[in-house]
Structure 1
Amino acid sequence: MARYHIETYGCTSNRGESREIERRLRDAGHYRVDGPETADVAILNTCTVVEKTERNMLERATELSEDTADLFVTGCMALAQGEEFAGLDAQVLHWDEVPTAVTNGECPTTTPDAEPILDGVIGILPIARGCMSDCSYCITKHATGKIESPPIEENVEKARALVHAGAKELRITGQDTGVYGWDTGERKLHELLKRICAIDGDFRVRVGMANPKGVHGIREELADVFATNDELYDFLHAPVQSGSDDVLGDMRRQHQVSEYLEVVETFDDALGYWTLSTDFIVGFPTETDHDHEQSMALLRETRPEKINVTRFSKRPGTDAAEMKGLGGTIKKERSKAMSKLKLEIVGAAYEEMVGDTREDVLVVEEGTGDSVKCRDSAYRQLIVRNASEYGLEPGQFVDLEVTSANTVYAFAEPV
């Protein structure tokens, strides 16, 4: 597990984002330490109110980059002036990308007694614990073990209770949702989702991370459930991690690039408008220049609308920790190149939305100042400013016109 140090500057919105980052890190089995000197990673949530503040942020980022192995910079200055941090050994990310980057491509970890949680209008439903993978870089497998899947009816009842308690968005979570039911000899994620969508109520369902191998065997059934149930966000998070079969083999990822592509093609055929989310680990110990170029080529080919880029970091007790690592400069250069391509791809996807109207968009939570964060049918994030003027609150459904884009999200106004 990673030891993290986090510092937050600026407004209450930044503090709220940091709390969410910490919640996700704790859920993934990581823990906070008091200072950067004893941390594996440092997180700096920045502010950019005045020039003096910006100078302070750069100075602090420089200090943290010298004190810890990995530095993640997020917040207002990171998003508005990310180029200012280009000279540092740091990754500049949107706040909701930080937890995944810190986890080094590992599966999230839930406790054995994980129960549903209602947070505002968001209902979090862990459907199983453990996974079927044996990734060479992942330490969480030691904490979770193999998949343990409760019966479908048990999960449906928990989902129903969340909806009756006021949940408008159900987030289906687990180490690997795609292998739900494998321990009982059946692949039944699609059956579970179908049953949850049949619950009375007006709500949306987001499916959490599902590794390509688990999805591949049920890709047609799963895509059909997405296509026929409006309650499901048309969103799939399938972390490929590399575009090289050689590296995937060294990672012991179980899938090959061709299987990942078949999953993407199946969803492309079934869904007109959907979001592909994936993860890449750059700088794995055995990754060559050619392997990296294969990852870049795969990114260009599939053009996912949400991409998590993580520099490889050794975790004690894992097989990959015994491998001779690549130099920090190589990892930094490859990460920088992929992150640049990522922003081009994601930015283009949101730019294409400008001028479009999205119907039945769910207001999920409050944003910065007088704004709200919304999700459309493909789980794309839309921000509505001056929300009080429109009477918008979390839990409402609204039709929105996309007015402008900001790389990883778009701005919209009610129709």
Structure 2
Amino acid sequence: MARYHIETYGCTANRGESRTIERRLRDGGHHPADGPADADVAILNTCTVVEKTERNMLRRAEELQAETGDLVVTGCMALAQGEEFVEAGIDAQVVHWDEVPEAAMNGECPTTTPDTDPVLDGVIGILPIARGCMSDCSYCITKRATGKIDSPPVEENVEKARALVHAGAKEIRITGQDTGVYGWDEGERKLHVLLDRICDIEGDFRVRVGMANPKGVHGIREELADVFAENEKLYNFLHAPVQSGSNDVLGDMRRQHQVEEFLEVVETFDDRLDEWTLSTDFIVGFPTETDADHERSMDLLRRVRPEKINVTRFSKRPGTDAAEMKGLGGTIKKERSKAMSELKRDVVGEVHESMVGTRREVLAVRPGTGDSVKCRDGAYRQVIVQHADDHGIEPGDMLEVEITGHETMYAFGRPT
């Protein structure tokens, strides 16, 4: 697991975002370092109030870059003036707050809380359904901590979900190292069965499925897509990290799936659902990735056009097989990451642009910056409603909004 160092500048909202980032990193099995020099990754949450602040942010980014292995920059300056870091020659991943944990995790599976107990965080219920995975990825150190998949019975997880709903959960997040292989240790993958049962629980709530590797989903893709199509409580959202568009690189990563299987999963969901969100991950700069392999990843991204994309530069984790491979130069990784991130912004921006002018029902899930609230529509796309107090909107409320505009990573909605 990674050791991280996080620094936060600016307002209370920024500090709140950093707390959320750090909680997700800790839930993923990662832990804080004593300082940037001891960290595998440094995270700089920036402010951009005045010009002097911007200069300070650039100077601090340069210092952190020199002190640590990898640098992730987020926050207001990163979102409003991300090009400033590029122009200053700072070798960093510049990402939205929500993308920081994935950028810092190097494509590794998340871990769950040590005792896999459910947690209620505001109106969000977090339900770890199993521990461990069936993969043996050459770059991932998480397997050491989690081992093989260990799946509690369906009924046990249903009862935990029911308890979360009774405690006030309006959104249940199904989590695990690889939700797609739930039940594999018992001889039968049962994610679709579990989701169907959870959706039968009485109450007004939504369910989001966490990361599921393509190989695990592929064997139950039709059953799973049918469950999504039949249950309005399920967000039409699937996080299936492909990691590369090259079968050769996938083989070196020991990812178990091939590109064709990933595409068959996507095609099945396209057939069953009118609107859904595909979230996927790419690791750029894996030690054996050639220019042709990188182009295959770019071509796959252009073909599939996922609504949510996590781009991570490969970094070595001690004790993994990939750490023993001869790495690519930092310049190569930086150039490939930049190219894919630019394509990502175009693809994701198209999705939110297409939402403008539509009306949709959303669930308010968390307070946003200032007097705003973060909401999710039926496909788990983020919609920001401003002036929430004026409209009497609080987390947990369901409301109809008209989409009035968008940024790259989210849309703006006005209550109707």
Q: Does 1:379 align with 2:360?
A: no
Say whether 1:390 aligns with 2:384: no
Match of 2:244 among 239, 242, 245: 242
**Could you list the runs of 5+ residues in structure 1 that have no partner in the other structure?**
none
User: Partner amino acid for 1:302?
Assistant: V
The number of aligned residues is: 414
Identify the residue that residue 63 of structure 2 maps to in structure 1. 63
User: Following the alignment from structure 1 to structure 2, what is the Cα–Cα distance between the partners of residues 412 and 83?
Assistant: 27
Q: State the alpha-carbon separation in 1 of the partners of residues 66 and 307 from structure 2.
A: 33
| Aligned counterpart, 1:407 | 408
For 2:173 and 2:113, locate their aligned partners in 1 and report how far apart those are by CA, in whole Å.
17
Residue 112 of structure 1 deviates from its aligned partner by 4.2
- Partners of 1:133 and 1:69 in 2: CA distance: 26
Q: Give the secondary-structure state (helix, strand or coil) at the position aligned to 1:236.
A: strand
After superposition, what is the alpha-carbon deviation per residue over 1:312-355, rounded to whole angstroms, capped at 9, x for unaligned? 00001100011110000000000000000001100111011111
Distance in 1 of aligned mates of 2:34 and 2:415: 44
1:179 and 1:189 in contact (8 A); partners too: yes
Residues 347-386 of structure 1 correspond to what in structure 2 (within 5 A)? 347-359=349-361, 361-386=362-387
Paired residue for 2:12?
Answer: 12
Q: Are 1:218 and 2:225 counterparts?
A: no
The counterpart of 1:273, out of the listed 268, 272, 275, is 275
Q: How far, CA to CA, are the matches of 2:354 and 2:81 in structure 1?
A: 23
Aligned-residue offset at 1:54: 0.9
Q: C-alpha separation between the residues in 2 aligned to 1:404 and 1:112?
A: 41
SS of residue in 2 equivalent to 1:384:
strand
Q: Please give the alpha-carbon distance, in whole angstroms, between the structure 1 residues aligned to 2:272 and 2:210.
A: 19
SS of the aligned residue for 1:352 comes to helix
Deviation, 1:96, is: 1.1
* CA displacement 1:150-169 (0-9 Å, x = unmatched): 00000000000000000000
Could you tell me how far apart the structure 1 residues matched to 2:180 and 2:38 are?
36
Tell me the residue number matched to 1:54: 54
Inter-partner Cα distance in structure 1 for 2:51 and 2:326:
43
Is 1:41 the counterpart of 2:41? The answer is yes
1:20-54, Cα deviation, whole Å (9 max, x unpaired): 11111111111112321111110000011111111
Residue 152 (structure 1) aligned with residue 148 (structure 2): no
Written as runs of structure 1 = structure 2, the 5 A alignment for 1:5-404 is: 5-86=5-86, 87-359=89-361, 361-404=362-405
Identical columns (%): 80
Output the CA distance in 2 between the equivalents of 1:37 and 1:102: 16
* Alpha-carbon distance in structure 1 between the residues aligned to 2:383 and 2:296: 32
Q: Which amino acid aligns with 1:251?
A: M
CA distance in 2, matches of 1:211, 1:242: 13
- Cα deviation, residue 111, structure 1: 4.1
- 1:177-199 deviations in whole A, cap 9, x for unaligned? 00000000011100000000000
Q: How many angstroms does 1:208 deviate by? A: 0.1
* TM-score normalized with structure 2 length: 0.99
RMSD: 0.6
Quick one: which amino acid aligns to residue 340 of structure 2? M
Does the CA-based 8 Å contact 1:130-1:145 persist in structure 2? Answer: yes
Alpha-carbon distance between aligned partners in 2 of 1:389 and 1:75, rounded to the nearest angstrom: 26
Contact 2:112 2:175 in 1 (8 A): no
1-side partners of 2:146 and 2:320: how far apart?
14
Q: Residue 408 of structure 2: SS of its match in structure 1?
A: coil
Give the 4+ runs in structure 1 shifted more than 2 A: none
- For the 8 Å contact 2:116–2:129, the answer to whether it is kept is no
